[in-house]
């Protein structure tokens, strides 16, 4: 039977994994020598978690961290992905086998990894960093990593990706979901251990004031008459444009298991970037929204938003040279930046365990 203290340490490392809006959409059941991991379907009800794809990516990241921590603490992990057809939200069963203790070179990065939403330094990626990320990608034959570095292309893609900043200021459902995830106070309450604290968004002071004001839909609607929803995304695009590269990770599949495995790959990339001093921040809302629209859910949002989202998505796909049969796993900023001013919180392990 696996030592419970060691297992807790391994799982603590796992739950540091990233998840959309810090929803932490996982619950874990401990057995004798294994754990079952369940996806919480209601944890993220945004359009951006269509078919729980974002959550499955987060689960893949969780499992990858568990594997790295387990190796460091003397266990090998056998992963059985989606092992029961009748339980589509049982994402994995992990079996732990005793093994030689070997500190994994990415172990520390598990605790240092963060979404860095600051302004980046607007300098090119070093050749050795680029090679590192592309070498990792080669270890995962299903994935392709496209780095958009050309200034003009970066500008185009940054502007296209900023569409979702306009969308959340104009779409009532998305506005409600997002503001449910933003925490304006920091305390020890369980609620503040999920979601995103306002400081982690790294807004400049006027934006911080505005975001509080715009949390009220009625007030926001008045500001929108004067075009605020179209003005703010311009700042976002400028911010994205300071990245050394806008990266796009793509894969051929669309099944739940494809997104889960993609999450393992993304976590590997993210930890490697962290370990070598690169800043990393996902900007995934647009490609996720576009795939929801393309898969016939367009009636949920306005016709104008459908049109503009698809137009923006097309710009990204064309610039990145993505073929029709490929799915975007994640778009993200890569580069160099100061450390974030604030870090995300997590539920304590006790709250994540199923008894
Ligand atoms: C699938 C996925 C999608 C994400 N999309 C975005 C995004 O569009 N914009 C963003 O700022 N952060 C995004 N994130 C980052 C999460 O908000 C972040 O992981 C979470 O708040 C926890 O913070 P941390 O990564 O600093 O630990 C995403 C993360 C995942 C796993």
Residues 6+ apart with CB under 8 A from 172: 217
- How many whole angstroms from 139 Cα to the centroid of ligand 1? 24
Residues 6+ apart with CB under 8 A from 122: 241, 242, 243, 244, 335
pTM here is: 0.97
- How many whole angstroms from 116 Cα to the centroid of ligand 1? 10
Determine if ligand 1 sits within 6 Å of the CB of residue 344: yes
Instruction: From the CA of 114, give the closest atom in ligand 1.
Output: 26
Q: In Å, what is the CA distance from 307 to each residue of 90, 159, 240, 293, 312?
A: 36, 16, 23, 10, 9
Q: Are 271 and 106 in contact (CB under 8 A)?
A: yes
Ligand 1: residue of 284, 285, 331, 339 to mutate (most ligand atoms within 8 A of CB) is 284
**pLDDT tens digits, the chain, 355 residues: what are they?**
899 999 999 999 999 999 999 999 999 999 999 999 999 987 656 889 999 999 999 999 999 999 999 999 999 999 999 999 999 999 999 999 999 999 999 999 999 999 999 999 999 999 999 999 999 999 999 999 999 999 999 999 999 999 999 999 999 999 999 999 999 887 656 667 999 999 999 999 999 999 999 999 999 999 999 999 999 999 999 999 999 999 999 999 999 999 999 999 999 999 999 999 999 999 999 999 999 999 877 788 999 999 999 999 999 999 999 988 899 999 999 999 999 999 999 999 999 999 9
Planar angle of CA 293, 297, 301, nearest 5 degrees? 80
Three-state DSSP class for 296?
helix
Residues 6+ apart with CB under 8 A from 85: none
| Smallest CA separation from ligand 1 atom 20, residue | 22
| Smallest CA separation from ligand 1 atom 19, residue | 18
Measured distance CA(73)–CA(295) in Å, rounded:
43
- How many whole angstroms from 6 Cα to the centroid of ligand 1? 28
- How many whole angstroms from 33 Cα to the centroid of ligand 1? 31
Determine if ligand 1 sits within 6 Å of the CB of residue 249: no
């Amino acid at each position: 039977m696996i030592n419970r203290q060691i297992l807790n340490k391994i799982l603590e490392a796992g739950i540091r994994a990233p998840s959309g809006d810090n929803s932490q959409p996982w619950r874990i059941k401990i057995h004798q020598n294994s754990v079952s991991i369940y996806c919480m379907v209601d944890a993220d009800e945004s359009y951006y978690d269509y078919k729980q794809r974002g959550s499955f990516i987060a689960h893949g990241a969780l499992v990858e961290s568990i594997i790295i921590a387990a190796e460091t603490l003397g266990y090998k992990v056998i992963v059985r992905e989606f092992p029961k057809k009748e339980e589509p939200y049982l994402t994995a069963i992990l079996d732990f086998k005793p093994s030689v203790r070997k500190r994994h070179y990415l172990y520390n990065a598990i605790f240092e990894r963060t979404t860095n939403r600051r302004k980046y330094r607007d300098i090119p990626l070093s050749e050795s960093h680029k090679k590192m990320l592309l070498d990792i990608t080669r270890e995962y034959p299903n994935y392709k990593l496209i780095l958009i570095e050309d200034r003009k292309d970066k500008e185009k893609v940054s502007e296209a990706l900023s569409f979702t900043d306009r969308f959340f200021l104009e779409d009532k459902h998305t506005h409600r979901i997002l503001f449910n995830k933003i925490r304006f106070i920091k305390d020890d309450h369980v609620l503040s251990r999920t979601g995103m604290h306002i400081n982690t968004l790294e807004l400049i002071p006027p934006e911080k004031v505005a975001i509080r004001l715009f949390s009220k839909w009625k007030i926001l609607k008045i500001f929108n008459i004067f075009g605020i929803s179209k003005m703010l995304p311009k700042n976002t695009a400028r911010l994205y444009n300071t990245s050394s590269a806008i990266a796009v990770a793509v894969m051929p599949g669309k099944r739940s298991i494809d997104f889960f495995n993609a999450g393992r790959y993304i976590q590997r990339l993210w930890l490697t970037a962290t370990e070598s001093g690169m800043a990393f921040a996902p900007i995934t809302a647009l490609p996720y929204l576009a795939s929801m629209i393309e898969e016939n859910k367009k009636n949920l949002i306005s016709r104008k938003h459908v049109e503009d989202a698809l137009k923006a998505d097309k710009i990204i796909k064309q610039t990145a040279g993505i073929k029709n049969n490929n799915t975007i796993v994640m778009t993200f900023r890569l580069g160099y930046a100061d450390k974030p001013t604030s870090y995300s919180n997590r539920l304590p392990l006790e709250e994540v365990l199923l008894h």
